[in-house]
Chain A
């Protein structure tokens, strides 16, 4: 009997261990998600009581010209982030994997990831500002006769911010690809050499296919990251000038905290989350089918 009681007590206490984590998830993740979803059906402005407006905010999303520009900019971000930091991360990983001092230098590329997006935005805003590092160099080298306002011109401003983001996330991509590369069995590579495969053939026909699982994760992380990007844009251009560099995440913040249209901002957040969710599921289905 005693042993039974002690077993029950033991089982019961086992359930207590994950409780703090579950409570944290409930309070800080589930509750806000439910609250944002609920708010998206209201016209809340922080001052007046919430009033239910049905699907009005969702209908407005599809007729808002500014959101059209934000959507276009977000898609440009997705393409550029997949094209630049991801490819750069892969190339760096391949390079580092083949040098004896890889352990010493890989952390250098990882350092920017440890910095906050706002901090990175401040650094790169200064670099691209009219009196910043880039203009000083270009003018003193005689390439430009006078400084250029990089952050004021379309599409220079978006490219400048993509460069800043590339500096931040390339290290993560590199580390992930490096993990994948180090898990490729040495015998496979050796066999390809014996069979007379060139470096390029080994890379395209053996390494890349074997890296597919890790590539999947990197692609998903980069797509989600581009949809979420906010801090660097906010610090470098605040979406301007004339909302030209605004992405959906910036529009969501501006509507909610600039114009205090909490309901509309929440509706944008919900739609964005659904897009991200759909992309994730779609991509997983494709991968599953191929496997």
Chain B
């Protein structure tokens, strides 16, 4: 009898292990579902602020009642932006009568698997948030995304072509911008004031700032490799700001990770680590860096400007408690280069409610939709006709110093700029460098091996 029980236990566990994989996918539990009811939306919001340069074509008006189309299914990996979603859904409901059923996922892998499996059928989302460039291309070239060219027609001149390009494949736009963020250095203004520091305008000044902070017992910069995906931050920044063309070529698989520019990047980073400019890399991005920053234990942190949402949560005020600057390059005579990330909203080519999906994206791109999103989220709208007067002074500074600066060259973030099969393993390799900066040559060789294999597979 004992033997039988033991046998049964062994067999059951061995078999159950086999389908852990599938189980993981099937357990992709949505964290929330929201069906937005119609709420009052101030009428003046829609008509607010006439555009400085009116569009040549009048904006297409959405018809009033499309409720018979049924609800729209929207999937997102950004359920934390609930207020923004709710506000836009309410505006859309008022305009069209269509409810939006949102399913949010907090786990990126689960979300990606849910979308990839869902959109190949009519059971998946009608509309979903995604990533730009190669991640978008993966879906577009399989014919899984709906063409958005016609939806852009009335508003095309309001959107930056560079951003639309990051949502395009083979000359066709497949995404509407949900997020456009620049990667900048956020600094604690109180710490800077106490130490008599000002925003650096060149690399030497930047190093002086770091030295002053360090000699006064303040860790200059927050660095993290927690979560398994954050170690690319400084790699991308140093390479892109000093060698923008090399950065693009390396990301596109056209230049080796063992090239001179990449080696210089590692040497600059290594020097900064060895001089003690960074925190212990074990600090957590969202949980530990914001309070350390607020207490003045660390003076600066480099991230996408969406990181200010963490500061908002601990009641820091943009412009008063913190501000931003673009990290200057070490190499001379390099144009001002800023990393940006753009997150699109896509329509599934197999959407079961295609008409509602198109109406939603039309609304999203409109001045009204963008105004609601921008005001609720305190984000800079990529729609040029949406005023920025509601933004705090840091966001206004980003708009002026980055997006409105004709000299600034915007380059896509590493996460989207290279293949999906490279990014995660590359972060693991960069972890090794952060933990042991002397290993940079091994790390370069590992990155090159990863890259060449991934590109070979991609091109075949």
**A: which residues have CB within 8 A of B?**
28-29, 32-33, 35-37, 46-48, 129-131, 147, 149, 151-152, 213, 216-217, 220-221, 224, 227-228, 230, 238-243, 249, 252-254, 256-260, 262, 265-266, 269-270, 272-273, 276-277, 280-281, 284, 287-288
Contacts and interface: CB of A to CB of B under 8 A. Distances in A.
Contact of B18 (A224, A241, A243, A270): A270
Contact of A47 (B23, B116, B428): B116
Contacts of B434: 241
A267 to B, nearest CB: 11
19 contacts: A36-B18, A36-B21, A46-B116, A47-B138, A129-B284, A130-B283, A131-B291, A149-B282, A217-B9, A220-B9, A228-B13, A240-B431, A243-B428, A256-B24, A269-B17, A276-B13, A280-B6, A280-B10, A280-B13
A269 B16 CA distance: 10
Contacts of A254: 424
Contacts of B142: 47-48
A262 to B, nearest CB: 8
Contact of B139 (A47, A273, A280, A287): A47
B301 to A, nearest CB: 15
Nearest to A238: B228
A84 to B, nearest CB: 20
A227 B17 contact: yes
Interface of B: 2-3, 5-7, 9-11, 13-25, 109-110, 112-113, 116-117, 120, 138-139, 142, 144, 225-228, 280-284, 287-288, 291, 420-421, 424-425, 428-429, 431-432, 434-435
Interface centre among A240, A249, A270 (most CB of B within 10 A): A240
B14 A224 contact: yes
Contacts of A272: 17
B109 A281 contact: no
Nearest to B138: A47
Nearest to A216: B6
A281 B19 CA distance: 20
Contacts of A256: 21, 24
B7 A242 contact: no
B2 A213 contact: yes
B10 A281 contact: yes
B429 A258 contact: no
B288 A240 contact: no
B26 to A, nearest CB: 9
A242 B20 contact: no
A281 B6 CA distance: 10
B18 A152 contact: no
A276 B2 CA distance: 19
Nearest to B28: A257
B116 A252 contact: no
A122 to B, nearest CB: 11
Contacts of A28: 19
A242 B426 CA distance: 9
A43 to B, nearest CB: 10
Given A152-B281, A240-B428, A280-B10, A265 B21 contact: yes
A239 B144 contact: no
Contacts of A37: 18
B20 A228 contact: yes
Given A224-B13, A240-B225, A272-B17, A130 B5 contact: no
B113 A46 contact: yes
Contacts of A257: 21, 24-25, 109-110, 112-113
Contact of B225 (A47, A221, A241, A262): A241
B131 to A, nearest CB: 14
Contacts of B11: 277, 280
B227 A238 contact: yes
Nearest to A35: B22
Contacts of B20: 228, 230, 249, 252-253, 269
